[in-house]
Amino acid sequence: MQEVDQLIKQALNGSAAAQKQLYTHFAAQMFGICIRYTKSTEDAQDILQEGFIKAFKNLHTYRNEGAFGGWLRRIMVNTALSYLKTHKTYSLDMLMEAEHLHPVQDNNMDIQIEAKEAVALIKQLPTGFQTIFNLHAIEGYTHVEIAKLLGISEGTSRSQYARARSVLMNWIKKNNKEYKTGGSYA
């Protein structure tokens, strides 16, 4: 943590080496976030790039209150949302096919798949569901915040999340079985 603080100070003084070290330190973690919000690696890299540029340009606004990683994470999420809004391929369609809407009985199921596999499943969700799921289940945003961020009603956010969660749980359940029996994700 102290090392990161030191790097931030040096980066503020214009040290290119410190900027690179900060990037190296957080790039993998932030790229993971970007991947979750997009459908392709190229788009994730675009978001990562844009997010880091924003972060370095606004480094002076970081007030040392809370972890730098958290600050950076928020920038990445906001950048991802802007990216999704501005790119037509990610128009936030909220359509969900009927086959995805089977209710899940087990609310407290155990997730027995790996992170990479979970991300692959999240990426299969329609963009709107994928975004709301990421924001609420993983980032911890409330539905009020999500509604504000995406310009939708709180109710829509809740219902869309419930559907996304249900679908994902079904998929995970299926993959859990495959995982246990040495299926395709094993």
Partner 1 sequence: MHKQSFEEQMQQLMQGFNEQPEEFVWENIEQAINKKEKKRRFIFWWILPVCLTGIGFAIFFNNKNNTGINSIAHHTNTSTKTSETISKQPNDNNLQSNIANKKIENISETTIKQNDKTKNIKQIAQKNTSTTIYPEIRKVTSVTEIKKESSLKTTTDKRNTINIDEPKQTNVSNEINVITETDKSKAEITTDTTSKKNIIEVDSTIIANNDKKKTSAKNKWKIGATVGYGFMHEKVKSATYTSYENGFSNSGSTAGQGPVQIINSYTVSAAASYNIGIAATKPFAKNYSVETGISYNYMRSQYNTTSLNTSSFNSYNSKTINKYHALEIPVMLERNLINKNNIGVGLRAGINNSIILNANSITNNQSSKIENINTYQASIGYGLKFNFKINKTNVFILPSLQHSITNLTANSRHKWTRGTVNIGFNFK
H-type alpha helices, 13-153: 16-37, 41-57, 68-86, 115-124, 127-133, 143-150
Q: Which of 84, 125, 150, 169 binds partner 1 (CB under 8 A)?
A: 169
From residue 9 to residue 38, the character string flagging contacts with partner 1 as x (rule: CB under 8 A) and all else as - is x--x-x-x--xx--x---xxx-xx--xx--
90 vs 141, which CB is nearer to partner 1?
Answer: 141
Smallest distance, partner 1 to C-beta of residue 50, A? 9
186 lies in the binding site for partner 1 (CB under 8 A):
no
CB 122 within 8 A of CB 36: yes
Smallest distance, partner 1 to C-beta of residue 52, A? 5
111 lies in the binding site for partner 1 (CB under 8 A):
yes
In 3D, which of 45, 7, 164 has the Cα closest to residue 97? 164
Length of the chain: 186
Q: Give the angle 127-172-160 at the CA atoms, nearest 5°.
A: 35
144 lies in the binding site for partner 1 (CB under 8 A):
yes
Q: Which of 40, 89, 142, 153 binds partner 1 (CB under 8 A)?
A: 142
